Structure 1
């Protein structure tokens, strides 16, 4: 049986389409994808890459987010905001909320023993937040420009549906495999077998695009200020575009020039800085590598031409991330 979402006239008027995914909600879906070995063709290379890049401090968050089922809701606060803004909300979560969310999870599955004192131990909570930051920086930050590009294109398509057919067409096509619009009710089939009725009570529904959420729907019935429904953005092609954006191919014939690039101490420092801080700006890259911004930019160009980093631009903002070849090359050199 599905979850039946009931709309009133006020709900239809207040239903919105989010322009971008919620970074921490998207992170939770990405963690589930990391832990569940589905879509081997699309995700196997990404999983191998992440397994190499995640450090032991990731374990706290990975233990709290299962492959499926309930998790502590305070780890992914709903609503809008940047990853850093949402992370600040997690760090400031009230102790009563931590206890309540952990109790909800404990009613369905066992929790690690370290969670017992989490609400009353600020240092332990700080370590958990650091773990969340680390996992986000490895799993999502390197791909965030590509993720937002996919979701912005999806939102534009939904806006065209809204203009041509109204909100009913948007709801009818939001996720056809798992949802069915029978006005004024949206039926959302949950593979877990969860069923029930969600009355929006004038709050409306927030439709949130998700690149990693290509399969089963995710619904947040208790989110404030309004419930949300994650829907797939761009489908499987959207996920592929986010995880494997167009970049310079690995140049086997250019091994000599690659060797000359990595033979310089500064270039190696720049590459290491990019690997350690995926998604960093040129200014951040220069600071981390201990070189002038102009020098960092010059070496970033060489590394990009060698196929070791990719650079994305959104307006005036530039960010640099390592390619999988760079991670493999650095790991081999370190080994």
Structure 2
């Protein structure tokens, strides 16, 4: 199948990259990945570890988010925000929207569980599904959320560089060339299965959503429509995730301080904890004067531990793989 997304001039002007993680949207992508058999080198160990931990309620939510195929939109809004707030929004979904979403996916999901027929009218059943959604997040994403933020910040830096050097055309052409092809004014998304579908953005633009668990390109209809893609990762490398995701961000490591000096280690740690921060933000978090923070950031960039990109009047700093390895290696990860 090819998804043909049609752009107008207004759509090109309003196309952008998501400015923050979207917990429930990423959860749907993780749910699809954990049920798939694709990319075993990358996802195999993570799948084996998480599948054994799923509760009965979590499996209810999983049943509505298949490896391939449509899922009801109310479960995974493409919105940034705190998980608790987003789950509260799901719990408050009107019964008519539940029915409508289930009707929309029914032609594409002939094997929906029988209990979905009662979902809109049985409050306790729907509450159990929402509880399962929280359980699923706790199992698939919560231990790794800090690492996801790091990957997202690095990907945003890359996309910003593409936008600055080649405009929206470079952004669309290079975001995910394996699955996306820019043929102006149409973005073609290669999908699993046969046939062709067309989506007209109608001036709303397109939201590009980098994802840690997406292994291809996934189109989400909405206003605006969204396309998720792998966040700048090598699909052949194993996904190295650990429930000690926050450990590398401690500034108190004596080994890192001995290697870099205490102040420079604190600056590197501040960048790791707040990927994409500006020099002003970095100075505040490291408790330094802006000029001093800029000097240390320049030294770290020269050493290849960080990268910096200027956007308008601000310089944004993020960790490089080498900088991450320095922090990770000195925390025994």
Q: Normalising by the residue count of structure 1, what TM-score does the alignment of the two structures yield?
A: 0.69
Deviation, structure 1 residue 140: 0.2
Q: What CA deviation, in whole Å up to 9, does each residue of 1:207-249 have, x standing for no partner? A: 111111122x11112x13x11111110223698455259x7xx
Deviation at 1:182, TM superposition (A): 1.8
1:40 is matched with which residue? 40
Distance 2:20 2:237 in 1: 15
State the 1:27 CA deviation.
1.1
**Residues 134-158 of structure 1: CA distance to partner in whole angstroms, max 9, x if unpaired?**
0001100110110110011001100
Residue 183 of structure 1 pairs with residue 181 of structure 2: no
Please tell me whether the aligned partners of residues 42 and 239 of structure 2 are also in contact (alpha carbons under 8 angstroms): no
Please give the secondary structure, in 2, of the residue aligned with 1:114. helix
| Cross-structure match for 1:95 | 95
8 Å Cα contact 1:2/1:195 also seen in 2: yes
Give the secondary-structure state (helix, strand or coil) at the position aligned to 2:203: coil
Who is 1:149 aligned against? 150
Question: For residues 61 and 79 of structure 2, what CA distance do their matches in structure 1 show?
Answer: 21
Shift of 1:33: 1.5
- Taking structure 1 as reference, are residues 105 and 237 closer, same or farther at Cα in structure 2, changes over 3 Å only? closer
Cα deviation digits, residues 271-292 of structure 1 (max 9, x gap): xxxxxxx98xxxxxxxxxxxxx
Q: CA deviation at 1:54?
A: 1.8
Q: C-alpha offsets along residues 41-87 of structure 1, whole Å, 9 cap, x if unaligned?
A: 22222122112322222221122222211112211112322322221
- Per the alignment, residue 6 of structure 1 pairs with 6
State the partner residue of 2:304: none
Cα-to-partner distance string for 1:167-193 (whole Å, 9 max, x where unaligned) = 100001111011111222211121222
User: Would you tell me which structure has more helix in proportion to its own residues?
Assistant: 1
Say if 1:87 and 1:129, in contact at 8 Å, map to a contact too.
yes
How far apart, CA to CA, are the structure 1 residues paired with 2:146 and 2:225?
26
Correspondence for 2:22: 22
Residue 157 to residue 144, structure 1, CA distance change in 2 (3 Å) = same
- List aligned pairs for 1:1-335, cutoff 5 A: 2-108=2-108, 109-215=110-216, 217-221=217-221, 223-224=222-223, 226-236=224-234, 240=238, 243-244=241-242, 314=273
8 Å contact from structure 1 (residues 6, 199) kept in 2 = yes
User: Could you give the per-residue CA deviations for residues 116-146 of structure 1, whole angstroms, max 9, x where no partner exists?
Assistant: 1111111111110000000001100110110
Q: What is residue 258 of structure 1 aligned with on the other side?
A: none
SS in 2 for 1:207: strand
| Aligned-partner SS, 1:68 | coil
Query: Number of residues paired by the alignment?
Result: 253
- Judged with a 3 Å threshold, the aligned counterparts in structure 2 of structure 1 residues 19 and 194 are, in CA distance, closer, same or farther, namely farther
SS of the residue aligned with 2:78?
coil
Query: What is the CA–CA distance in structure 2 between the aligned matches of 1:45 and 1:120, rounded to whole Å?
Result: 39
Distance of 1:2 and 1:107 partners within structure 2: 19
192-201 or 4-13: bigger deviation: 192-201
1:112: how far off? 1.4
Counterpart for residue 262 of structure 1: none
Moved over 4 A (4+): 237-242
Q: Which runs of 5+ in 1 are unaligned?
A: 248-277, 280-296, 302-311, 317-335
For the 8 Å contact 1:147–1:211, the answer to whether it is kept is yes
In 2, the alpha carbon distance for the partners of 1:195 and 1:244 equals 40
Please state whether the residue corresponding to 2:10 is helix, strand or coil.
Answer: helix
The 3 A distance-change label for structure 1 pair 89 and 164 is same
Distance in 1 (CA, whole Å) between partners of 2:73 and 2:57 is 20
Distance 1:102 1:194 in 2: 23
**Secondary structure of the corresponding residue to residue 93 of structure 1:** coil
Assess if the C-alpha contact under 8 Å between 1:50 and 1:138 holds in 2. yes
Q: Provide structure 2 residue ranges, at least 5 long, that are not aligned to the other structure.
A: 254-269, 275-284, 286-333
